[in-house]
Structure 1
Amino acid sequence: MKSRVWKYFEQSADKKNAMCKECNAHLKLQKDGSTKALLNHLRNQHKLLCSESESRSSTSAPAQVPTANDPEGSSTVREQSTVPVPLKQMRITGSFAPVAVSPTSQASSSKVKPSLSSALVSRLDEAAIKAIIQDGRSFGDFRKKGMQGFLQAILPGYMGPRRQKVTDRVDSLFEEKVAMLKVRLEAPTVVNFTTDLWTDRTNMAYMIITCHFANESFQVESTTLDFIHFTERHTAEAIAHAFVQCLQKYGLYDKFGKCTTDQGSNIVRAGKICDRMQRLSCLGHILHLVVCHGSGLWEATDSSADGVNGDSSTECNESEDEDDCTEWAEEFRTLPLSSEGTKKIASAITKIRRTAKLFRRSTRAADAFRRDAEADTLLPLDVKTRWSSTYSMLRVYLQRYPDVDRTLCQLIQDATSDAEIKQLRSVFLRQEEKEVAGTLLAILRQFADATEMLSGQNYPTANIAYIVLYGLRQFLSAEDVNDTDRFLRRRLLEQLNKYTFESTTFNILFYKTAAFLDNTIIASPHLNLGDMLDVQNHLKNEVAWSIEQETEGSAIQEATSNSGAGASSTDEDDCSSTVSAVNEGSKFLKFCQSSGITTRESNFNAIRSSARGDTTKKEARRKAADQLSLYRSLAQQSFRLSTSDFWSQNSANLPELAELAKLYLSAPATSVPSECAFSAAGFLKRKERCSLSSASLEKLMFLRDKFD
């Protein structure tokens, strides 16, 4: 007989789960068909008491008790005893026994919970899982006490997805989105990448790969391609192998454009190992080297300048690769004090850094500063791996200099020893040092603005990279009456030229070409005549090569079709005689070549092949020159159009240039997409989620930008 318990539950289609009609809770059914779990749910959650025998159908015979007159118990029915309960405090529910209801819960029990359909619950669960993935929530967030109260307030009866359901859905979503991304990446003809390495709190290494391409409308699209967990040491060979596997997985091996990375030695070597990995140096890291080497941010004046207590202030962020931090820190530590100007800068920065550390390490100094500044925040402290942290430290220090000065004076008055007074006085900035810090801040502000422009993710950055570098060079070339300003500009200009314009490894021509292919920039004065000539010669070769490849492919296809048609139109005897004649002729030519004899036919073939090749190259270069001339004319007429609209409208007239524009205009100038992904990964792998597995982290990082 079917249990009466199904009056309160609805069985799923696969008969593995049941949903309570009272609260929409999902319960797993036992394999033997027992309804004990369902009965316990009714008893504990809804105060409906019943037993297995009481829950059976009313058509079943009642239990009989044997007596003296009726030993078999066939005619006497056992009477059930119940505790008498007032009628007002009883709730009768079908075949279930009456349950006493307390007066305090009587009012709430009169409210009937709304019944939610399975379709609505599924839709709400899907939205909740999407929120968990996008916001980096834990899988059991919706089952926590506070969230349950919120859900019951806005939609009574909805409980949210369980942890296991979220885990299963993340796995299925990962497979679905990977398949969709493979289809999406079939359309673009060229794809650019960024990649970087990251180590989490538990020293587990990961590699991120992001892809960037222009769609048919020349809009740049970006997405996370893969987030890979390294189970072994991340050497150059392992990085190259993982990169190639990712390219083959998505069918992008023959669509590789450029890959923007930092200056890490293992990634640089990986680019040399992988022949497809044409690397671009991240401009953010290039500017970091320029600022640190040019301004002397980490040139210490003495051994005690590293900190108030003599220990080093250098700390690698947990999201940084350990090898890179060590390499950069060692490089900066060995910088010499080359001049008097460098010593002034180092002295001012060292005192500011020691002041920031004093407020962080002394509770008395921190309380005094908060009281004088009437703020809860302290001075930020910089790290060697981020020059922008030094810029932020200088900016906040100079903004709050009166509060800092007042706090130090108060600490000196309250000091109890001469050593403490001497230490506090050593961090006071003299007027000359304050002016040096102000001059340095004004110059670094230009680099901060340049870095912010190049770090954008909602617009192309390769086309503005050369303009930014050109603007920095013009700014640093200007002379000023201030000796410190003149010294800083000259030294930073030397480093900027060293790492960009005069570097043999930095591809400055790539960024010039990207600026040239932007119709809004080509008419600007930043591209001088020499730059224009370099770019046009480069593009002429690129376009001519594309035309040659297309012409040769068409010629081969035509020759193949003609030879096939000719062979099919001849008789079998003629065909066999022709083949034998060709074989004999080939043998004769080989004999002549081996004997050193030059035949008229071989000379004629060589001359004809050379003439055909020269004609093809000349024709290709002529077509390339025509396309460049047409592009310059159209760009000057349409400089008000956006870059994507311009190329969408003129791609038919400039076919080869349009394909090159997809390469140059979609390449990121910095590895910011990878860095931002690591920030998200650090939040996902926070201390509160230390049990998150590496496999789940890989899937969550892949899915985080797939719902936009």
Structure 2
Amino acid sequence: MLSSSKINSMGLNKKRSNVWYHYSIILNNIAKCNICYDKISFSGGSTGNLLRHLKTKHPTVLLQRNIQENVSNSDIIDDSQPSKSTNHTPTGQQSFSVATTYPPMFKTQNKHQTSIANFIQKPIPMSKSKIIDQQLVKMIVKEYHPFSIVEDVEFQKLIKMLCPSYIIPSRKTVTQSLMPQLFEVTVESVKDTLKNVAAVCLTTDGWTSRNNQSFISITAHFIDPQDETLISSVLLGCNDFDEKHTGDNLAFFLSNIINEWNLSNKLTVVITDNAANIKAAIRKCNWRWLPCFAHSINLTVQTSLKCIELTITKVKNIVQYFKKNCPTRWNSTYEMINRIVEIKEPIIATLAVLGVQS
């Protein structure tokens, strides 16, 4: 395999075709698809095979980037200044234009005249453009920005000021090309990490969203092979689960996730809540099960609170007028009671004014 310096010296990293946004060069005539990692030949410098692969294997990938018109830095940096014209005449006077004849080699065009910035600014290398693309997607994902941020005018101006030669990808390119590529790269990176791990512990839980859609998440916990004192965690999946939450369905779902990540021989224990269906699913998979400590504490506290259930009901009636309490979390009940104790005197005074018996 050729070194990166040798490839650069051959000029392969300065390809101008849009197809190179989706490939990485690994040999002088072999490129690797950034989406499916297939190796494609482009002997003679032709991109025909590369284009054919994208059209047949990845038809949703956009080949053409959203190329914007070149704008001078003065237009980008300050759009509040009025436009300037060199052909000003006093009010009420007629403007005359003087025709000037230039030799052929000195003829210029007034319209669409190329800015000097276009001669100074060098085109951005394809490798750097890919790095910026990846960072853009990471910013959107990690900071929860909308995809439409790439269409925001002020954001585009900012990018142009920082890197005038960079072409901002369109929203469709981000969602259908760049994000799937980054997802596949991340998955492969996590799989490579898990290959060197000796043992893995899983935690899983399910919940229902506000729009009544069920989800299940699975997280793997392991000792970092590079730093044996550090415990790392990776989310293996957060999937919607439309099936009935029976032990058989949950067992089938969990076993598929484990097989997908090749963890069946490394799994030591699975930690869940104390629900009967998930416990039955773990037994069907023949895995070791341990109850979640926080859930177990909650069950113990909820049982202990039954002796003061009448008092909690009265407090809850007051609190729920302003904010709903979550009865399945004992810390929520604790905070509710603790707050009532702090504001006991104002509450008693208010109840007395309203004529409500405590």
Q: TM-score, normalised by structure 2?
A: 0.63
In the alignment, the residues of structure 2 paired with residue 261 and residue 349 of structure 1 have an alpha-carbon distance, to the nearest angstrom, of 28
In the alignment, what sits opposite 1:220?
A: 231
Q: Assess if the C-alpha contact under 8 Å between 2:123 and 2:165 holds in 1.
A: no
Structure 1 unmatched ranges of 5 or more: 1-9, 25-46, 48-83, 89-93, 100-109, 297-341, 361-379, 413-420, 429-708
Does 397-406 or 190-199 show the bigger shift? 397-406
In the alignment, what sits opposite 1:128?
A: 136
Q: Which of the residues 181, 196, 201 maps onto 1:192?
A: 201
In the alignment, the residues of structure 2 paired with residue 266 and residue 228 of structure 1 have an alpha-carbon distance, to the nearest angstrom, of 18
Higher relative contact order (CA 8 A, sep 6+): 1
In the alignment, what sits opposite 1:392?
A: 335
- 1:230 partner amino acid: F
In the alignment, what sits opposite 1:355?
A: 318
In the alignment, what sits opposite 2:150?
A: 142
Matches within 5 A, 1:91-490: 98=111, 115=121, 117-119=123-125, 120-145=128-153, 147-148=155-156, 151=159, 160-167=168-175, 168-216=177-225, 217-275=228-286, 277-296=287-306, 342=307, 345-358=308-321, 360=322, 380-405=323-348, 407-408=350-351, 412=353, 421-422=354-355, 425-426=356-357, 428=358
Q: Assess if the C-alpha contact under 8 Å between 2:201 and 2:221 holds in 1.
A: yes
In the alignment, the residues of structure 2 paired with residue 196 and residue 346 of structure 1 have an alpha-carbon distance, to the nearest angstrom, of 28
* 1:22 lines up with 2:27 in the alignment: no
Q: Mark the CA change 1:172 to 1:159 in structure 2 (over 3 Å): closer, same or farther.
A: closer
In the alignment, what sits opposite 2:7?
A: none
Q: Assess if the C-alpha contact under 8 Å between 2:271 and 2:291 holds in 1.
A: yes
Matched-pair identity in %: 24
Deviations 1:552-572 (A, max 9, x none): xxxxxxxxxxxxxxxxxxxxx
Q: How far did residue 145 of structure 1 move?
A: 4.4
In the alignment, the residues of structure 1 paired with residue 288 and residue 70 of structure 2 have an alpha-carbon distance, to the nearest angstrom, of 62
Deviations 1:624-648 (A, max 9, x none): xxxxxxxxxxxxxxxxxxxxxxxxx
The DSSP-based 3-state class of the residue aligned with 2:303 is helix
Q: Mark the CA change 1:183 to 1:149 in structure 2 (over 3 Å): closer, same or farther.
A: closer
Root mean square deviation, CA, Å: 3.6
Q: Mark the CA change 1:96 to 1:218 in structure 2 (over 3 Å): closer, same or farther.
A: same
Q: How far did residue 355 of structure 1 move?
A: 1.8
- 1:394 partner amino acid: I
Q: Mark the CA change 1:115 to 1:282 in structure 2 (over 3 Å): closer, same or farther.
A: same
Deviations 1:195-233 (A, max 9, x none): 111222333322211111224424322111222332422
The DSSP-based 3-state class of the residue aligned with 1:118 is coil
In the alignment, the residues of structure 2 paired with residue 403 and residue 384 of structure 1 have an alpha-carbon distance, to the nearest angstrom, of 25
Deviations 1:372-405 (A, max 9, x none): xxxxxxxx54122222111121222333344444
Q: Mark the CA change 1:124 to 1:174 in structure 2 (over 3 Å): closer, same or farther.
A: closer
Structure whose residues are more often helix by fraction: 1
In the alignment, the residues of structure 1 paired with residue 343 and residue 161 of structure 2 have an alpha-carbon distance, to the nearest angstrom, of 47
In the alignment, the residues of structure 2 paired with residue 400 and residue 86 of structure 1 have an alpha-carbon distance, to the nearest angstrom, of 84
The DSSP-based 3-state class of the residue aligned with 2:265 is helix
Q: Mark the CA change 1:393 to 1:142 in structure 2 (over 3 Å): closer, same or farther.
A: farther
Q: Assess if the C-alpha contact under 8 Å between 1:152 and 1:158 holds in 2.
A: yes
Q: How far did residue 97 of structure 1 move?
A: 6.7
In the alignment, the residues of structure 2 paired with residue 240 and residue 162 of structure 1 have an alpha-carbon distance, to the nearest angstrom, of 41
In the alignment, what sits opposite 1:447?
A: none
Q: Which of the residues 13, 17, 26 maps onto 1:12?
A: 17
Deviations 1:407-466 (A, max 9, x none): 555xx3xxxxxxxx44xx23x4xxxxxxxxxxxxxxxxxxxxxxxxxxxxxxxxxxxxxx
Matches within 5 A, 1:71-82: none
Q: How far did residue 263 of structure 1 move?
A: 1.1
In the alignment, the residues of structure 2 paired with residue 125 and residue 116 of structure 1 have an alpha-carbon distance, to the nearest angstrom, of 18
Q: How far did residue 285 of structure 1 move?
A: 0.7
In the alignment, the residues of structure 1 paired with residue 96 and residue 235 of structure 2 have an alpha-carbon distance, to the nearest angstrom, of 66
Q: How far did residue 118 of structure 1 move?
A: 2.9
Q: How far did residue 144 of structure 1 move?
A: 2.6
Deviations 1:670-708 (A, max 9, x none): xxxxxxxxxxxxxxxxxxxxxxxxxxxxxxxxxxxxxxx
In the alignment, what sits opposite 1:518?
A: none
Q: How far did residue 254 of structure 1 move?
A: 1.6
In the alignment, the residues of structure 2 paired with residue 146 and residue 350 of structure 1 have an alpha-carbon distance, to the nearest angstrom, of 53
Q: How far did residue 271 of structure 1 move?
A: 1.4
The DSSP-based 3-state class of the residue aligned with 1:240 is helix
In the alignment, the residues of structure 2 paired with residue 177 and residue 122 of structure 1 have an alpha-carbon distance, to the nearest angstrom, of 15
Q: Assess if the C-alpha contact under 8 Å between 1:292 and 1:387 holds in 2.
A: yes
Structure whose residues are more often strand by fraction: 2
In the alignment, the residues of structure 2 paired with residue 229 and residue 293 of structure 1 have an alpha-carbon distance, to the nearest angstrom, of 32
Q: Assess if the C-alpha contact under 8 Å between 2:274 and 2:295 holds in 1.
A: yes
Q: Assess if the C-alpha contact under 8 Å between 1:191 and 1:212 holds in 2.
A: yes
Q: Assess if the C-alpha contact under 8 Å between 1:148 and 1:159 holds in 2.
A: no
In the alignment, the residues of structure 1 paired with residue 345 and residue 95 of structure 2 have an alpha-carbon distance, to the nearest angstrom, of 78
The DSSP-based 3-state class of the residue aligned with 2:195 is coil
Q: Mark the CA change 1:85 to 1:247 in structure 2 (over 3 Å): closer, same or farther.
A: farther
The DSSP-based 3-state class of the residue aligned with 2:215 is strand
Q: How far did residue 283 of structure 1 move?
A: 0.8
In the alignment, the residues of structure 2 paired with residue 174 and residue 349 of structure 1 have an alpha-carbon distance, to the nearest angstrom, of 48
Q: How far did residue 278 of structure 1 move?
A: 1.1
Q: How far did residue 129 of structure 1 move?
A: 0.8
- 1:182 partner amino acid: K
Q: Assess if the C-alpha contact under 8 Å between 1:381 and 1:393 holds in 2.
A: no
Q: Assess if the C-alpha contact under 8 Å between 1:128 and 1:161 holds in 2.
A: no
Q: Assess if the C-alpha contact under 8 Å between 1:210 and 1:224 holds in 2.
A: yes
Q: Mark the CA change 1:85 to 1:151 in structure 2 (over 3 Å): closer, same or farther.
A: farther
Q: Assess if the C-alpha contact under 8 Å between 2:133 and 2:178 holds in 1.
A: no
The DSSP-based 3-state class of the residue aligned with 2:139 is helix
In the alignment, the residues of structure 2 paired with residue 116 and residue 286 of structure 1 have an alpha-carbon distance, to the nearest angstrom, of 63
The DSSP-based 3-state class of the residue aligned with 1:185 is helix
